[in-house]
Amino acid sequence: MSTRETLLESRAQAARQGRWQRLPLIENPRWRWGIAIGVVVYLVLALASVEVNWARVAEGAGRAVNFLSAFMQPDFVSRQKDIVAGLLESLTMTLTSTVLGVLLAIPVGLGAARNISPLPVYLVCRGIIAVSRTFQEIIIAILFVVMFGFGPLAGMITLAFATIGFMAKLLAEDIEDLDWRQVEAVRATGASWWQTMNHAVQPQVMPRLIGLSVYRLDINFRESAVIGIVGAGGIGATLNTSLSRYEYDTAAAILLIIIAIVLLCEYSSSHVRRWTQ
């Protein structure tokens, strides 16, 4: 009898007498204990390395209360001009970067789909995607601010670059999962490469592409609220200033506006997605 069967038999015997315990998640006890001890050791080490300046925290508690009360009474008025200008910049950056990003993502996505592009093109496109996806928007924004100067142009290029990575990856995956019979059916009619793309590939990926673009629009807006921190324009700069001046009521107003716009985006994007499917 194998050890497995003996184990089963002994568990059945025990259960007959009323003793039963759930099987452990990890069968091998050495692994089970090893992983448990590893987790505990990591937690101890990690928590030990977190330095907390309690005096500073206590000092900040008052500010936390101020901030929470600011949310009850947000101040939309006293910095209205800054807020409006920041928002306008954020929104324009969001829109232009999404459009440019999606347009540029299409060739990159086609190139990064293994089933329709040659190896060198594939590698280059995958490289672009990897770089764009790995680095946070804000890091890329730092570089573009150095290159293009402060202002929304750097922000727009940053967001467009991030959009390329995001969209191209998903597009490439879509194309790789394509229903190949449809493509062959169109090819069999004697269609050229462009015609094949237009009649067999595009209809299959289009609904998801539109859905993802709308989704990315939403992400780009959220990101446009932070890249201002490093000088790439948008509402983030306004927010940063108000926080560093401890103007919590203005900061609260900006955050509420961001939440409202994101909600609006999400609501409309779910509609758009339903409509495209």
Partner 1 sequence: MLTLSGVTKRYPTGDRALTDIQLTLPKGQVMALIGPSGAGKSTLIRCVNRLVEPTQGSIRLEETEITRLSGNALRQARRSMGMIFQEYALVDRLSVMENVLSGRLGYVGFWRSFLRRYPQDAVAEAFRLLERVGLPHAIDKRADALSGGQRQRVGIARALLQSPKLLLVDEPTASLDPKTSRQIMRLIRELCAERELAAIINIHDVALAQQFADRIVGLRAGEIVFDGLPNELTSDMLTTIYGEEEWDTTPEPMDDEPAAEPPRARVFEGLAAGGAQ
Partner 2 sequence: MPVSLTPQGLPAWQQRTTRAQWLQYAAWLLGISLFLLCWKVISDNTMWVFVEDAGRQGSDLLSRMLPPRWDYASVLWKPMWDTLNIATLGTAIGIMMAFPVAFLAARNTTPHPLVRSVALMVIVSSRSINSLIWAMLLVTILGPGVLAGIIAIALRSIGFVGKLLYEAIEEIHPTPVEAISATGATRLQVMNYGVLPQIMPAFAGISVYRWDINIRESTVLGLVGAGGIGLQLNASINNLAWNQVSVIFIMIFATVLVSEWISARVRHAII
Binding positions for partner 1, rule: CB under 8 A: 8, 11-12, 15-23, 132-133, 162, 165-166, 169-170, 173, 212, 215, 219
By the criterion CB under 8 A, which residues form the site for partner 2? 42, 46-47, 49-53, 56-57, 59-61, 63-64, 67, 88-89, 91-93, 95-96, 99, 130-131, 134-136, 138-139, 142-143, 146-153, 156, 222-223, 225-226, 229-230, 233, 236, 239-240, 243-244, 246, 251, 255, 258-259, 262-263
CA distance 178 to 108: 17
Q: Which residues of 251-277 are buried (b: 16+ CB within 10 A; e: fewer)?
A: bbbbbebbeebeeebeeebeeebeeee
Q: Which does 259 bind (CB under 5 to 8 A by kind): partner 1, partner 2, none?
A: partner 2
Residue in the structure block whose two tokens are 């936390």: 64
- Residue 52's φ and ψ, nearest 5 degrees, are -120, 125
Q: Which does 16 bind (CB under 5 to 8 A by kind): partner 2, partner 1, none?
A: partner 1
139 binds, among partner 2, partner 1, none (CB under 5 to 8 A by kind): partner 2
Distance CA 130, CA 124 (A): 10
Minimum distance from residue 133 beta carbon to partner 1 (Å): 5
Amino acid 189 reads T
Q: How many angstroms separate the CA atoms of 66 and 47, rounded?
A: 29
Nearer to partner 1, 245 or 271 (CB): 271
Element (H, E) at 8: helix 3-16
Q: Measuring CA to CA, how many Å separate 72 from each of 67, 91, 162, 163, 235?
A: 9, 26, 35, 35, 21
The least distance separating partner 1 from the CB of residue 190, rounded to whole angstroms, comes to 35
Q: Which does 20 bind (CB under 5 to 8 A by kind): partner 1, partner 2, none?
A: partner 1
Query: Could you tell me the smallest distance in angstroms from the CB atom of residue 94 to partner 2?
Result: 9
**Which one of partner 1, partner 2, none interacts with residue 232, CB within 5 to 8 A by kind?**
none
**Least separation, in Å, of the C-beta of 13 and partner 1?**
10
**Is the alpha carbon torsion for 171, 173, 179, 180 positive or negative?**
positive
Q: What's 229's DSSP letter? A: G
Q: Which does 169 bind (CB under 5 to 8 A by kind): partner 1, partner 2, none?
A: partner 1
CB of 200 to partner 1, least distance (A): 23
